[in-house]
Amino acid sequence: MKEISCKLLVIGAGPGGYVCAIRAGQLGLDTVIVEAGKPGGTCLNIGCIPSKALIHAAEAFEQARARAGGDDPLGISAAAPSLDFGKTVGWKDAIVSRLTSGVAGLLKKAKVKYVQGHARFRDGKTIEVETETGQQIIRAENVVIATGSAPVELLSLSFGGRVISSTEALSLADVPQKLAVVGGGYIGLELGTAFAKMGAKVTIVEALPRILAQYDAELVRPVSKRLAALGIDVLVGAKAKGLPSKGDALLIETADGKDRKIAADKVLVTVGRRPVTDGWGLEEIDLDMNGRFIRIDDRCRTSMRGIYAIGDVTGEPMLAHRAMAQGEMVAEIVAGHRRSWDKRAIPAICFTDPELVTAGLSPEEARALGEIKIGMFPFSANGRAMTKQGEDGFVRVVARADNHLVLGIQAVGQGVSELAAAFGLALEMGARLEDIAGTIHAHPTQGEAFQEAALKALGMALHI
Amino acid sequence: MGEHVIRLPDVGEGVAEAELVEWHVKVGDMVREDTVLAAVMTDKATVEIPSPVEGEILWLGAEIGDTVAIGSPIVRLKVAGEGNVQEGDATPEAPEAPQLPPQEKKVVPDNPAKPAAVEPEKKQPVAAPAQPGGTRSAGIGAPRREGEKPLASPAVRLRAREAGIDLRQVPGSGPAGRIGHEDLDAFIARGPQPGKVSGLVRNDRVEEIKVVGLRRKIAEKMQLAKARIPHITYVEEVDVTALEDLRAGLNKQKPGADRPKLTLLPFLMRAMVKAIAEQPHLNALYDDDAGIIRQYGGVHIGIAAQTASGLVVPVVKHVEARDLWECGAELNRLAEAAKSGTATREELSGSTITITSLGAMGGVVTTPVINYPEVAIIGVNKMMVRPMWDGTQFVPRKMMNLSSSFDHRVIDGWDAAVFVQRIKALLETPAMIFVEG
């Protein structure tokens, strides 16, 4: 097959890779993107988007079920609902395919050449791609490694059969009757909650003393409360030991050291994600590493000239929007613009019930840097939250005590994921408490809690 | 509650006034008995003034650099109980400036932001924001700590990046030191090479440094010397090859407690003793006010020495009675004492003639300033190997210049020349230094 030469080659068409390629194409760079799977990567195909679809469907089903109970405070009564999970998955798949074909269309529009196949470095400038029609050699002046991440597998619970990763969980044929989730991070909680709402008996097994361990206890409390209300068993300090030789169950060792068997027709393992650093010829180019990740500088340059890396393969936080921002930046750098990583905040969201958002520094991190002020406003004092039956949770603002510069914002509550935009903007613009307090927040919205939290930090809260 | 006034105590025999060189307290401080309040400097020494009582500082009666008469009030304290001030008594100590001779008034007119100034700083809130006008100058807005990220919106950051400007260099005028588009415009409009970390930046800062303490003493002494003494400076070169050979030979012998490593100075000192024996009027103090020259029998050589706080002149007394080794040992001891600040007043005064030497930094020629009221100073320049013509060829010789100044009112140029030539002859044939008679 004829060799291709290009200015920029992107390996991996996930959110980092495809954004990088689109921007590069827009800037007139001769760009090629290689993807072994479908465009959109983990995020669109087996991550963010499909999980949000299932979470939404589960939420709708759960509400209908609650109303069928006959004691709905809103006065709605309905017959007991039923769930055609096959149809749910079909709906989810339709969204995914709309988005992936959308990405393919955007790449085409930006005149990016899309090569389907598995890429592998031959050397720093040459990539071999195994395509369906044979080997394709691509020579590139610049290469962006955007190979992403994959679920971590436990030795005692290797994937296959009843043991599934998040990927399989998003494409099950039926809602499992009994689902054991190993790992109480955000992925396990999001999926576990969704399946519980769709009727599964869910048990979450977490090795650490608490779930969502990277967030402070105050922030996680409403989530724990809701998990209990949904009848989800949360076993903290417990270790998954493996599958029993017979029967649908999971063996665990509980916090007090006892062995226990949990009934489970499916075992979902969500114990984190690892960067994909194998299978594409890292050994051929021998890049400097930063632990498991590829080491990059503030321009996403690796230790080899002309080779960049973006996204999950470069480290935490493994979030699509970080990869996108990096991808955009790298495309502009390759096009000759002066750019470097200067973002102040990468917001993170858990689509748990209720949702959880963090942006910037936690109170603990901020305190380590100097004296701080904290303002917290509960949704129980917010009119809109009441009308949405979403009174659990709060917005919390952390600022420097001396000049009131906002350092971090956290929120937990129904639908707070949409507040991430305001939080990110406030931090990126360098807002002070007075800026947030002095901005009119439309009434009645949950966003008012953000303004009130800032007022509270200034000692001037109105509604509490 | 009463008031206790502390007056400047008698800090030394025959001292009528002292210069306040340091405040250790400020108004509002609580002090205990024996807390050091201030340091004052007299002609003789620096003395710390302790508090005799416990109380709160109400008033400080002088500023750093002020000369205060003995017995004038310097501190007022609020104390428990009676205090030492009667009601009617209070007026004389009203907080006017302490008695200063008019010319002593500070050079800087009236700067309220002086260290240990009496007060009024605290009245305004600390972060008085946005002074009208001048908001574009550097340093407006919250100071950015080392390593702290500059605060700017993404749009400002992008513009700065495109313009090649490092935002860390840009002062932010916004709240919390935020850098706005205006700040960036101003920064671009300003320097000739904006943005380059290594670029040349104008510095319009003027720092006011009060001339106090030792620095002031030096300044006064130098001014007196130059104002009163018409200096004549005479420079001659000396071939010190033989002297250096002798010195190296002596130093090769095992040094002991009584045999310090010799520098060139002890030789020079001994040579000066010989020369002075022939020209005793060079070893004298000229009291020009009284019109009297005091010619001394003893040769007391001051050695100008640089210390961390400035120039001091420890004195080797009675050099005529010390041999080479004793001169060396005494020199070492005094240099140490001067450096560590432990030299006594006696060790720092009483010279009748002075040597100034900067060693390897000595340069080719200097114009030494006479240590008033002495009449002569010998300056030692650096030694170097120079090609000298011996009548048939150039030979490498260790050469060193002596730059010496004399008070032309009482020393004629001829006498000065004879004196230096005599020293030169002694140093060039060092055996002559040790020949008696």
Query: Searching chain A, which residue's CA lies closest to the CA of residue B179?
Result: A430
pLDDT at residue B103 is higher than 80? no
Chain B residues in contact with A340 by the CB 8 A cut-off are: 161
**Which residue spans within A61-123 are E strands per DSSP?**
113-116, 118-123
Please give the interface size between A and B, counted as residue pairs whose CB atoms are below 8 Å apart: 35
| pLDDT on residue A455 | 97
CATH number at residue B88: 2.40.50.100
- Whether residues B296 and B220 share a domain: the answer is yes
Phi–psi pair at B101, nearest 5 degrees:
-60, 140
Q: Are residues B220 and B195 in the same domain?
A: no
Q: Which residue has the tokens 């102040």?
A: A344
Q: Angle, nearest 10°, between helix axes B241-252 and B413-428?
A: 50
Contacts of B197 (CB under 8 A, 6+ apart): B166, B169
Chain B residues touching residue A406 (CB < 8 angstroms): none
A181 assigned to some structural domain = yes
CATH number at B187 reads 4.10.320.10
Burial class (CB in 10 A: 0-12, 13-18, 19+), A68: middle
Helices (H), B114-212: 154-162, 181-189
Whether the predicted pLDDT of B99 surpasses 60: no
Q: Which of A405, A434, A458 to mutate to test the interface with B (most CBs of B within 10 A)?
A: A405
Domain C-terminal end among A250, A271, A292: A271
Same-domain check for residues A194 and A327? no
Q: Is residue B59 in some structural domain?
A: yes
Cβ distance B161 to A338 less than 8 Å, yes or no, reads yes
Question: Range of B299's domain?
Answer: 213-434
Question: Over the stretch A340-392, which tens digit does the pLDDT of each residue have?
Answer: 999 999 999 999 999 999 999 999 999 999 999 999 999 999 999 999 999 99
Residue A216 maps to a domain: yes
Q: Is residue A155 part of a domain?
A: no
Cross-chain residue pair A403–B142, CB shorter than 8 Å: yes
Q: Which residue of A has its CA nearest to B161?
A: A338
Q: B177 CB near a chain A CB, below 8 Å?
A: yes
Q: Identify whether residues A296 and A441 lie together within a single domain.
A: no
Last residue of a domain, one of B210, B235, B259: B210
Residues 6+ apart with CB under 8 A from B268: B355, B378, B380, B423, B427
Task: Kindly identify which residue of chain B lies nearest to residue A342, measuring between CA atoms.
Answer: B157
Number of residues written out for chain B = 437
pLDDT at B135: 36
What confidence tens digit (pLDDT) does each residue in B404-436 have?
A: 999 999 999 999 999 999 999 999 999 999 887
With b meaning 16 or more CB within 10 Å and e meaning fewer, what string describes A93-111?
A: eeebeebbeebbebbeebe
Tell me the shortest Cα–Cα distance from B206 to chain A, in angstroms: 29
Q: What is the mean pLDDT of residues B194-220?
A: 77
Q: Is residue A67 part of a domain?
A: no
Task: Clarify whether residues A224 and A177 are in a common domain.
Answer: yes
Substitution target in A338, A361, A400 with the highest count of B β-carbons within 10 Å is A338
Residue A318 confidence class, pLDDT cut points 50, 70, 90: very high
How far does the CA of residue A188 sit from the closest CA of chain B (Å)?
35
Within-domain flag for B127: no
Asked if B176 and A340 come within 8 Å (Cβ–Cβ), the reply is no
Determine the distance in angstroms separating the CA of B162 from the nearest CA of chain A, rounded to an integer.
Answer: 6
Shared domain for A28 and A142, answered yes or no, is: yes
Residue A76 in domain: no
* pLDDT value at residue A237: 95
A432 contact residues in B (CB cutoff 8 A): 175-176
The three-point CA angle A441-A443-A444 to 5° equals 130
Claim to verify: residue B392 and residue B288 sit in the same structural domain: yes
Lowest mean pLDDT among A6-15, A198-207, A385-394, B106-115: B106-115
B316-349 tens-digit pLDDT: 999 999 999 899 999 989 988 888 878 888 888 8
| Cβ of residue B175 closer than 8 Å to a chain A Cβ | yes
Q: How far apart are CA B382 and CA A149, in angstroms?
A: 72
Residue A252 or B124, more confident? A252
Q: Is B303 on the interface with A (CB under 8 A)?
A: no
**pLDDT tens sequence across B288-302:** 899 999 999 999 999
The per-residue pLDDT for B437 is 60
Residue B25 in any domain: the answer is yes
Whole-angstrom distance, CA of residue B239 vs CA of residue B429? 9
User: Does B127 contact A403 at a Cβ distance shorter than 8 Å?
Assistant: yes
Contact check, Cβ <8 Å, B176/A404: yes
My answer on whether B258 and B385 are in the same domain is yes
Domain that holds residue A291: 4-49+88-150+274-334
Residues B175, B294: one domain?
no
- Specify whether B155 is located in the same domain as B257: no
Distance from CA of A450 to the nearest CA of B (A): 20
Range from A215-224, B149-158, B422-431 carrying the lowest mean pLDDT: B149-158
Sequence-distant (6+) residues with CB within 8 A of B215 are: B309, B310
Chain segment A116-139, per-residue pLDDT in tens: 999 999 999 999 999 999 999 999
| pTM greater than 0.95 (yes/no) | no
- Which of B161, B165, B181, B184 would you mutate first to test chain A, the one with the most A CBs within 10 A? B161
Taking an 8 Å cut-off on Cβ atoms, the answer to whether B161 and A340 are in contact is: yes
Nearest to A428 among B154, B174, B175 (CB): B154
Residues A265 and A281 in one domain: no
Nearest CA to CA, how far is B207 from chain A (Å)?
A: 28
Chain B residues touching A430 at Cβ < 8 A: 151-153, 174, 176, 178
User: Averaged over B239-247, what is the pLDDT?
Assistant: 94
Clarify whether residues B251 and B320 are in a common domain.
yes
A353 and A296 in a single domain? The answer is: no
Predicted confidence (pLDDT) at residue A178 exceeds the cutoff of 90: yes
Q: Are residues B42 and B116 in the same domain?
A: yes
Chain A residues whose CB is inside 8 A of the B127 CB are 403
Q: Contacts of residue A402 in chain B, CB cutoff 8 Å?
A: 142
**Alpha-carbon gap: A305 to the closest alpha carbon of chain B (Å):** 22
Is A24 part of a structural domain of the chain?
yes
**B13 occurs within a structural domain:** yes
B152 at interface of A, judged by CB pairs closer than 8 A: yes
- Which residue in this structure is represented by tokens 């022939």? B278
Q: A163-172, A213-222, A236-245, B170-179: lowest mean pLDDT where? A: B170-179
Q: pLDDT by residue (tens digit) across A37-74?
A: 999 999 999 999 999 999 999 999 999 998 997 788 99
Q: Are strands B73-79 and B55-60 parallel, antiparallel or unpaired?
A: antiparallel
Q: Which of A373, A404, A429, A439 to probe by mutation at the B interface, max B CB count within 10 Å?
A: A429
pLDDT of B354 above 70 = yes
* Active-site residue, B412 included: yes
Asked whether residue B321 falls in the same domain as residue B281, the answer is yes
Please answer yes or no on whether B161 and A430 come within 8 Å at the CB atom. no
Please indicate, yes or no, whether residues A18 and A142 belong to a single structural domain of this protein.
Answer: yes
Residues of B in contact with A369 (CB under 8 A): none
pLDDT at B131 over 80: no
Rounded to whole angstroms, how far apart are CA atoms B244 and A36? 85
Residues B359 and B316 in one domain: yes
pLDDT score recorded for residue B102: 45
The domain boundary, picked from B210, B238, B258, lies at B210
Does a structural domain hold residue A209?
Answer: yes
- Same domain for A258 and A300? no
CA distance A370 to chain B (A): 12
Q: Which residue of A has its CA nearest to B129?
A: A403
Mean per-residue pLDDT of chain A: 95
Cα–Cα dist A235/A214, whole Å: 17
CB contact under 8 A, B176 and A338: no
Whether residue A267 sits in one domain with residue A185: yes
Burial A270-304 (b: 16+ CB within 10 A, else e): bbebbbbbeebbbeebebeeeeebbebeeebbbeb
Is B86 near chain A, with CB under 8 Å? no
At B130 the pLDDT is 38
CATH assignment at residue A102: 3.50.50.60
In the prediction, which pLDDT does B75 show?
87
Radius of gyration of chain A (CA): 24
Closest approach of B92 to chain A, Cα-based (Å) = 44
In sequence order, what are the beta bridge partners of A204? A181, A234
Whether the pLDDT of residue B129 is over 90: the answer is: no
Phi-psi region of A237 (alpha: psi -120 to 50; beta: other; left: phi over 0): left
Distance CA B413, CA B419 (A): 10
Looking at the complex, report in whole angstroms how far the Cα of residue A359 sits from the nearest Cα belonging to chain B: 16
Q: Which tens digit of pLDDT belongs to each residue from B255-270? A: 666 788 889 999 999 9
Q: Among all chains, which residue has been given the structure tokens 């050099």?
A: B319
The CATH number given to whatever domain includes residue A429 is 3.30.390.30
Q: Which of these ranges, A396-410, B71-85, B127-141, B159-173, has the smallest mean pLDDT? A: B127-141
Domain-embedded: residue B287? yes
Note the pLDDT of residue B86.
Answer: 59
SS (H, E, C) A228-276: HHCCCEEEECCEEEECCCCCCEEEEECCCCCEEEEECCEEEECCCEEEC
Tell me what ipTM this predicted complex has: 0.71
Facing B176 at nearest CB: one of A339, A405, A428 = A405
At B206, list the tokens: 């003027």
Lowest-confidence region among A219-228, A380-389, B201-210: B201-210
Distance separating the N- and C-terminal Cα atoms of chain A: 71
Contact call for residues B230 and B409 (beta carbons, < 8 A): yes
Say yes or no: B252 and B167 in one domain: no
Q: Residue B133 domain-assigned?
A: no
- H or E element that contains A196: helix A186-197
Q: Does residue A321 carry a pLDDT above 80? A: yes
A317 and A280 inside one domain: yes
Q: Which residues of A touch B (CB under 8 A)?
A: 337-340, 342, 344, 400, 402-405, 428-430, 432, 434-435
Residue A77 included in any domain: no
Q: Assess B176–A contact: CB distance below 8 Å, yes or no.
A: yes
Whether B155 and chain A come into contact, CB under 8 Å, resolves to no
Mean pLDDT of the B154-162 span: 88
Structural domain count, chain A = 3
Residue B139 has pLDDT above 60, yes or no: no
Name every chain A residue with its beta carbon within 8 A of the beta carbon of B142. 402-403
Among B146, B177, B210, give the residue marking a domain's end. B210
Q: Does A241 share its domain with A218?
A: yes
Q: Do A430 and B154 count as a contact with CB atoms less than 8 A apart?
A: no
Which of A338, A402, A404 comes nearest B162 by C-beta? A338
Q: Give the pLDDT of residue B177.
A: 85
Contacts of A283 (CB under 8 A, 6+ apart): none
Tell me whether residue B389 is in a domain.
yes
Which residues of A are catalytically annotated?
A: 443
Are both B295 and B404 inside the same structural domain? yes
Which residue of B lies nearest to A427 if distances are taken between CA atoms? B153
Q: Establish how many alpha carbons lie within 13 A of residue A251's alpha carbon, considering only the half-sphere containing its beta carbon.
A: 11
Is the same domain home to A43 and A126?
A: yes
With bands split at pLDDT 50, 70 and 90, how would you rate the model's confidence at B145? Answer: low
Q: Of A90-94, A459-463, B209-213, where does the model show the most confidence? A: A90-94
The answer to whether B424 and B272 have CB atoms below 8 angstroms apart is no
- For chain B, the farthest-separated pair of C-alpha atoms sits apart, in whole angstroms, at 93
Are B161 and A342 inside 8 Å of each other by CB?
Answer: yes
Question: Chain B residues with CB inside 8 Å of A429's CB?
Answer: 153-154
- The one catalytic residue in B24, B281, B318, B408 is B408
Q: Indicate the SS3 state at residue A191.
A: helix
**Minimal C-alpha gap between B196 and chain A (Å):** 14
Is residue B196 one of the residues assigned to a domain?
yes
Beta strand A31-35 with A4-11: parallel, antiparallel or unpaired? Answer: parallel
Contacting residues for B257 by C-beta, under 8 A, at least 6 apart: none
Nearest CB to B164 within list A338, A402, A432 = A338
Q: List the structure tokens of A33.
A: 């993107």
Give yes or no for a contact between B118 and B95, defined as CB atoms under 8 angstroms apart.
Answer: yes
Output the average pLDDT for chain B.
Answer: 81
Check B43, B166, B323, B412 and give the catalytic one.
B412
Number of domains chain B contains: 3
